[in-house]
Amino acid sequence: MAWGGRALVVGFASGDIPKVAVNLTLLKGCAIVGVFWGAFRKIEPKEDAANFAQLFKWFEEGKLAPQVSKAYPLADAGQALSALVNREVVGKVILTP
């Protein structure tokens, strides 16, 4: 964590809820912020839309490069889901119609 950084707590995919030493915020001058995106979308829809507009702009400018593990035709959606379930995926899986 860099000085003044923010750690965003989005979820716990592994099922384990990690423990954070709160002295980290003191030593690094950082913040730990919980992100409940579903609630945020409902409570602040304009801010959510602005965030997505910014993300898509960065993507179009080449500032973001999502990691794609594999693209599957829609007919192979079952294989794509199996790859996700079996943790064979790093990044995203794309389904193409």
- Report phi then psi at 4, rounded to 5: 75, 10
Better pLDDT: 66 or 79: 79
Contact, 44 vs 67, CB < 8 A?
A: no
The domain ranges of the chain are 66-97
Q: CA-to-CA distance for 24 and 87, rounded, in angstroms?
A: 31
What are 7-16's pLDDT values in tens digits?
888 887 777 8
What are 62-71's pLDDT values in tens digits?
999 889 999 9
Per the confidence metrics, is the pTM higher than 0.95? no
